[in-house]
Homo-oligomer: A and B are copies of this chain.
Amino acid sequence: MKIAVDAMGGDNAPEAIVAGVERARDEFLDTEFILYGDRSQIDPLLHKTERITLVQADEVIDMNDEPVRAIRRKKNSSMVLAATAVKKGEADALFSCGNTGALLAAGLLLVGRIKGIARPGLVSTLPVVSGDGSFNLLDSGANADGKPEQLYQYALLGKYYATSVRGIENPRIGLLNNGTEPHKGSKLTLEAHQLIAADDSINFVGNVESRDLLDGVCDVVVADGFTGNAVLKAIEGTASSVMHLLKDSIMNAGIGGKVGALLLKSSLNQIKAKMDQSQYGGAVLLGAQAPVVKAHGASDSETVYYTVKQIKSMIDGQMLPKFTEYFSAQQAAAAKKDDQPEG
């Protein structure tokens, strides 16, 4: 498998990208990489070029660029060149730590949608705090306005993702709602609930509330991109605020408090590790013709390594062929149904 990497995206590029890719290359012997970026910066960082190809990119899309315009105008940027390679079939997946909006636009406009998918959705992975494991949330921000049919497709996409990448045989799918009762919800979630519940191939656990997500009420949470994004950021922000509050409180607690913190060090580190998302890799645009993967802008080499591992799971797990097969069969069935005379 070959992965096209935007080597210039993110706060720690290209150092963290190159280091993470080299670690992954050394461990996963069936992976090859094309790194797009500034050769003069990347070359000195590379220990060996085995299974790594460098392609010069003269431009970089930065965090302040307007996404769609950047994709259209910065034709020689590391991100656009990497996306174009995937589009042409020269690589199997696209990976960047850069501008999220631009990467989503590159996924939609350059890599393209799978036939039958209305709107690809962004899937994020979060920790289950009260136990082991993690859960997926999609759409976590690709589309600000959701439709019931899209939420239904997210349930299907999430199911294949959890199966392929996380090895969960029959993942529990929940619909994010403002109450667990089936009659609760907005116009959007009430209709989406019906669609998802009607599909027997989905292990639907019904409505779930955002306060229960970290307890692991389901494996995949389906939401419209606006709410999904708001919930994702509320979880991240709250976890970070509480941890900061704890830190400040310890700093101001005098000698006794500092000794206490030392004695509790391993406990505090465990919590930090649990909340740390680097091991979960990046967010994936599901429904694009190849994995389009965005890791956090602040990613270090470890996150880059884990994200490559995650991409490898998607490819090894045959996620894309499964998507394509499923949605083209669905389309064919729908077309056949439309052709039949009524009654």
Contacts and interface: CB of A to CB of B under 8 A. Distances in A.
Nearest to A267: B249
B249 A257 contact: no
A205 interface: no
A60 B38 CA distance: 71
A178 B226 contact: yes
Most B CB contacts (10 A, CB to CB) among A189, A249, A263 go to A263
Interface in A205-233: 209-215, 223, 225-227, 229-231, 233
Nearest to A209: B233
Interface in A103-132: 129-130
Contact of A236 (B144, B211, B225, B274): B211
A197 interface: no
A246 B274 CA distance: 11
A241 B236 CA distance: 12
A144 B252 CA distance: 43
B246 A257 contact: no
A198 interface: no
Most B CB contacts (10 A, CB to CB) among A229, A231, A237, A256 go to A237
Given A210-B237, A260-B260, A267 B250 contact: yes
A245 B130 contact: yes
Given A178-B230, A211-B233, A187 B145 contact: yes
Consensus secondary structure, chain A interface: helix
Most B CB contacts (10 A, CB to CB) among A225, A240, A259 go to A240
Given A227-B226, A229-B178, A242-B243, A253 B267 contact: yes
Given A178-B230, A234-B238, A263 B257 contact: yes
Contacts of A184: 144
Contacts of A229: 178
A51 interface: no
Interface residues of A, number: 59
Contacts of A187: 144-145
A234 B213 contact: yes
A217 to B, nearest CB: 10
Interface in A52-108: none
A185 interface: yes
A225 B187 CA distance: 12
A201 interface: no
A271 interface: yes
Contacts of A298: none
A275 interface: yes
A266 interface: yes
Contacts of A186: 144-145, 226
Contact of A274 (B130, B245, B260): B245
A158 interface: no
A165 interface: no
A291 interface: no
16 contacts: A130-B244, A144-B186, A145-B187, A178-B226, A178-B230, A185-B226, A230-B231, A230-B234, A238-B242, A239-B242, A242-B242, A245-B271, A249-B270, A250-B264, A253-B266, A260-B267
Given A215-B237, A260-B264, 20 more contacts: A144-B178, A144-B185, A145-B186, A178-B229, A209-B230, A213-B237, A214-B237, A214-B241, A226-B227, A230-B231, A230-B234, A235-B238, A239-B242, A242-B242, A245-B274, A246-B267, A249-B267, A260-B260, A260-B262, A264-B264
